[in-house]
Structure 1
Amino acid sequence: MKTLVIIVASLFAGVVLSAPTDSTTKDSQENTYSIKVSDHGVEKEDTIIIDEEKNIEIFQTVDSDDAEVVEDFDAGLEGIIPRNGDSCYVKPLNSGENIPPAELKSRLESSGSENVIQEQGDKDDDLYVLAGGPIKNRAVVGETIAEKCEGRNIYWLTLAEDGHQDQGRVKRSCYLYYCSLRVYLGKGRYYYHCYIVRYLC
Structure 2
Amino acid sequence: MAALSLAKPTPTLRLSPSFPPHSHRHPQSPLPFPPNSSASHFLGLRLSFTSPPSSPVSSLGRFFVSAKVNKGQVPPPFTLKDQDGKAVSLSKFKGKPVVVYFYPADETPGCTKQACAFRDSYEKFKKAGAQVVGISGDDPSSHKAFAKKYRLPFTLLSDEGNKVRKDWGVPSDLFGALPGRQTYVLDKNGIVQLIYNNQFQPEKHIDETLKLLQSL
On whether the aligned pair clears a TM of 0.5, the verdict is: no
Greater percentage in strand: 1
TM-score normalised over the length of structure 1: 0.23
TM-score normalised over the length of structure 2: 0.22
Greater percentage in helix: 2
